């Protein structure tokens, strides 16, 4: 058996796993679009800085114990990243709800970083959310949260699972917030559908689908712009709730 003779090196390795899972698999597009090598260097430098600044060490461990602790840190990182995913999933679901009602289901934007197609409004909302996240100094709070997790949760200890129900409660709010953001647009587009149904009822010879579709799209984007002008307080509450969940999970 090989004995790891450098506790600090082991601490850097375990901290890099926890931080790396959060940063490399983050839903924040601005970070995900960075080259993999650059993200790896960022994680390594941040891990070295935090371990040296917080004076973290790990007791002497053989390779089996170190692998077990690495798996624990992988799970810790995944649990922390779930809260971020819940926050940004709100805007993805909101965009899909709006897309469906506006009639733009077939329109999508190719995402080269994930080799997938994103709905147009989901992409716009996510980009707006990322900008708002950085304007709120969310990246600072993210790094502070990671540093705090290294302080209160010893490396290699699987204690976050005890408060996993808090993350489940956060995911319960995803659909509530999604409907809160999308409801003004859905109601407005629903009124257009109602008017089109009345016209079809009284003048069946008119094809209201092709008449209502461009009106729904234009009116939908108009309502979408109005929602973006008043969405800032709700976005701030969503991201504050994300980091509040982090504090509660780690307490």
Task: Give the pLDDT score at 232.
Answer: 86
pLDDT (tens digit per residue) in 200-247: 888 877 777 778 888 888 888 898 888 888 888 888 889 888 888 888
pLDDT (tens digit per residue) in 54-92: 777 676 667 788 888 888 888 888 888 888 888 888 988
**112 has pLDDT over 60:** no
Position 60 in a domain: yes
Position 95 in a domain: yes
Q: What pLDDT band is residue 97 in, cutting at 50, 70 and 90? A: confident
pLDDT (tens digit per residue) in 166-196: 888 888 888 899 999 999 999 998 898 888 8
Position 233 in a domain: yes
Position 2 in a domain: no
**Which residues are CB-contacts of 173 (< 8 A; sequence separation ≥ 6)?**
86, 241
Task: Give the pLDDT score at 2.
Answer: 44
Position 246 in a domain: yes
**Which residues are CB-contacts of 166 (< 8 A; sequence separation ≥ 6)?**
245, 248, 249
CA angle 85, 36, 44 (to 5 degrees): 85
Position 133 in a domain: yes
More confident site: 117 or 8: 8
Show the tokens assigned to 226: 């109005």
Q: How many domains does the chain have?
A: 1
Report the alpha-carbon distance of residue 119 to residue 128 in Å, rounded: 14
Q: How far apart are the first and last CA of the chain?
A: 36
| Beta carbons of 246 and 83 less than 8 angstroms apart | yes
The proportion of the chain whose per-residue pLDDT surpasses 70, expressed as a percent, equals 90
Position 155 in a domain: yes
Position 1 in a domain: no
């Amino acid at each position: 058996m090989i004995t790891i003779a450098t506790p600090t090196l082991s601490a850097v390795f375990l901290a890099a796993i926890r931080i790396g899972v959060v940063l490399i698999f983050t839903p924040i597009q601005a970070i995900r679009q960075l080259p993999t090598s650059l993200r790896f260097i960022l994680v390594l430098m941040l891990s070295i800085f935090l371990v040296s600044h917080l004076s973290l060490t790990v007791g002497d461990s053989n390779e089996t114990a170190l692998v077990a602790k690495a798996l624990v840190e992988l799970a810790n990182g995944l649990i922390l990243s779930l809260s971020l995913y819940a926050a940004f999933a709100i805007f993805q679901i909101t965009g899909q709800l709006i897309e469906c009602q506006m009639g733009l289901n077939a329109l999508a934007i190719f995402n080269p970083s994930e080799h997938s197609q994103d709905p147009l409004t989901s992409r716009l909302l996510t980009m707006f959310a990322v900008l708002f996240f950085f304007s709120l100094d969310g990246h600072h709070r993210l790094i502070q949260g990671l540093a705090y997790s290294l302080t209160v949760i010893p490396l290699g200890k699987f204690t976050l699972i005890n408060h996993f129900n808090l993350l489940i409660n956060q995911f319960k709010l995803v659909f509530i917030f999604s409907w809160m953001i999308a409801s003004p647009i859905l109601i407005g587009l629903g009124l257009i559908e109602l008017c089109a149904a009345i016209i079809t009822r009284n003048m069946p010879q008119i094809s209201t689908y092709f008449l209502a579709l461009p009106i729904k799209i234009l009116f939908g984007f108009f309502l979408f712009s109005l929602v973006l002008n008043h969405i800032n307080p709700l976005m701030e509450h969503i991201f504050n709730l994300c980091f509040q969940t982090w504090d509660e999970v780690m307490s």
